[in-house]
């Protein structure tokens, strides 16, 4: 149970007591929030005392009579708004003219309650103010979280962009200083690594754009019918050189059927599955890619005989910029965005992606795209 601090300010003691009695049992519930809210009630007869109570007890909701001895209710409202105190006010007015309502609202009252009012009217006004306050606090908390997430994303992104720059600058310094002697040939591996890191950086920038484009919904999708085996053949051709350099065999098992998709989406999915299967494979290993119809859904499976992952590594796999870092992966380049992009693309089709892996033995990714086969 959560409590909101409610302060009743009225010079009429009987009025204070009856309001307090009516609100003591009131519970506030928002449909999608598990928690219920009730009130901790304090009372006072003057605006002067109310002012010091607001400061000392952090009042959430103020039930405020307009006419008070000494400082008036509207003056207290003015003070609250000038101090930017986070408080919701229900203003009780003696006569419900438009003028009083406007003046109370202008001074920051959130609800106006004209005397005489029924118990139900009081509860409704206080409930409205409380709900508004709860929502306002949730929104500001979400906004804080959004800012933090954004900062964290940019911090990690800038680290990922600085790393290749640092690596290339390091090699350039070695070449400039002739650290390995005067024979230019000895610097070729440093130059090759520099080129590789720069290519990786370029890929990171395009992956970032892909990811944000998908997330923002700006990407226009062009859904057409394609023969799946033809797309797969093209994609497999694309990684053939990479695979054969490490003597990795690639086999496919794909019956001829048509799917309705944006070709670019399927290419992103297949490229990510295949390049990971090559990168994280063992020399002389194998990759098997299959695609089948299950009703109107397409099921793609990519099985490799690679280094595999532990359960803990699998659990972190789809987080942005996550790369599985261990003794076996330290020389494998990547930016940790590939699977995040794959997952986002799969979600565009309300699909699913799952992974099963055995450390040291290999990994199998399964992608299911529903409703794309007519």
Residue 163 binds to another protein (criterion: CB under 8 A) = yes
**Binding range to another protein, per CB under 8 A, among 60-68, 132-140, 177-185, 223-231:** 177-185
β-bridge pairing 286-294 and 249-253: parallel
Question: Out of 157, 180, 314, 368, which residue is the one contacting another protein (CB under 8 A)?
Answer: 180
Q: By the 8 A CB rule, do 150 and 77 touch?
A: no
Question: Out of 19, 64, 66, 171, which residue is the one contacting another protein (CB under 8 A)?
Answer: 171
Residue 98 or 166: the one with the smaller Cβ distance to another protein is 166
Give the span between the Cα atoms of 208 and 342, in whole angstroms: 12
Residue 315 binds to another protein (criterion: CB under 8 A) = no
Residue 201 binds to another protein (criterion: CB under 8 A) = no
Touching another protein, residues 127-156 (CB under 8 A): 156
Residue 331 binds to another protein (criterion: CB under 8 A) = yes
Question: Out of 82, 99, 183, 330, which residue is the one contacting another protein (CB under 8 A)?
Answer: 330
Residue 246 binds to another protein (criterion: CB under 8 A) = no
Provide the minimum distance between the beta carbon of 188 and another protein in the complex, in angstroms, as a whole number: 13
Structure tokens at 304: 């490799």
Structure tokens at 348: 């565009």
Q: Is 117 exposed, middle or buried (0-12, 13-18, 19+ CB in 10 A)?
A: middle
Residue 162 binds to another protein (criterion: CB under 8 A) = yes
Residue 343 binds to another protein (criterion: CB under 8 A) = no
Q: By the 8 A CB rule, do 77 and 109 touch?
A: yes
Residue 165 binds to another protein (criterion: CB under 8 A) = yes
Provide the minimum distance between the beta carbon of 182 and another protein in the complex, in angstroms, as a whole number: 13
Distances in Å between the alpha carbon of 182 and those of 61, 169, 189? 79, 19, 15
Residue 118 binds to another protein (criterion: CB under 8 A) = no
Residue 14 or 330: the one with the smaller Cβ distance to another protein is 330
Q: Which residues pair with 64 in a beta bridge?
A: 9, 91
Question: Out of 69, 70, 94, 170, which residue is the one contacting another protein (CB under 8 A)?
Answer: 170
Residue 58 binds to another protein (criterion: CB under 8 A) = no
User: Given CA atoms 53, 58, 62, 67 in this order, what sign does their dihedral have?
Assistant: positive
Q: By the 8 A CB rule, do 161 and 204 touch?
A: yes
Structure tokens at 72: 């008036």
Name the residue with tokens 């261990």. 326
Q: By the 8 A CB rule, do 68 and 60 touch?
A: no
Q: By the 8 A CB rule, do 77 and 89 touch?
A: yes
Residue 20 or 329: the one with the smaller Cβ distance to another protein is 329
Question: Interface with another protein by CB under 8 A: which residues?
Answer: 156, 159, 162-163, 165-167, 169-171, 173-174, 177, 179-180, 190, 193, 197, 325-327, 330-331
């Amino acid at each position: 149970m959560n409590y909101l601090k409610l302060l009743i300010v009225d010079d009429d003691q009987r009025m204070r007591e009856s309001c307090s009695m009516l609100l003591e049992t009131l519970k506030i519930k928002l449909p999608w929030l598990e928690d219920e809210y009730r009130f901790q009630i304090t009372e006072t007869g003057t605006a002067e005392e109310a002012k010091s109570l607001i400061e000392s007890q952090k009042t959430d909701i103020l039930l405020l009579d307009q006419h008070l001895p000494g400082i008036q209710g509207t003056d207290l409202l003015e003070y609250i708004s000038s101090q930017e105190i986070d408080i919701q006010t229900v203003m009780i007015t003696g006569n419900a003219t438009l003028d009083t309502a406007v003046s109370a609202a202008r001074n920051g009252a959130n609800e106006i309650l004209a005397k005489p009012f029924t118990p139900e009217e009081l509860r409704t006004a206080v409930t409205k103010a409380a709900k508004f306050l709860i929502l306002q606090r949730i929104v500001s908390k979400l906004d804080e979280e959004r800012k933090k997430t954004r900062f964290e994303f940019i911090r990690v992104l800038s680290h990922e962009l600085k790393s290749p720059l640092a690596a290339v600058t390091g090699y350039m310094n070695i070449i400039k200083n002739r650290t390995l002697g005067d024979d230019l040939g000895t610097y070729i591996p440093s130059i090759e690594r520099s080129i590789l890191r720069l290519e990786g950086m370029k890929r990171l920038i395009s992956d970032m754009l892909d990811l944000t484009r998908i997330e923002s919904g700006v990407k226009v999708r062009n859904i057409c019918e394609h023969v799946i085996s033809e797309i797969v053949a093209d994609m497999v051709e694309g990684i053939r050189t990479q695979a054969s350099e490490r003597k990795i065999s690639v086999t496919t098992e794909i019956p001829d059927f048509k799917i309705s998709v944006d070709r670019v989406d399927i290419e992103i999915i297949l490229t990510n599955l295949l390049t990971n299967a090559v990168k994280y494979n063992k020399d002389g290993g194998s990759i098997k890619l299959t695609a089948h119809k299950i009703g109107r859904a397409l099921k793609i499976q990519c099985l490799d005989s690679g280094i595999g992952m532990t359960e803990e590594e699998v659990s972190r796999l789809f987080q942005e910029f996550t790369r599985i870092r261990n003794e076996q992966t330290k020389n494998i380049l990547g930016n940790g965005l590939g699977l995040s992009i794959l997952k986002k693309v799969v979600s565009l089709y309300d699909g699913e992606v799952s992974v099963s892996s055995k450390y040291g033995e290999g990994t199998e990714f399964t992608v299911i795209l529903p409703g794309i086969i007519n």
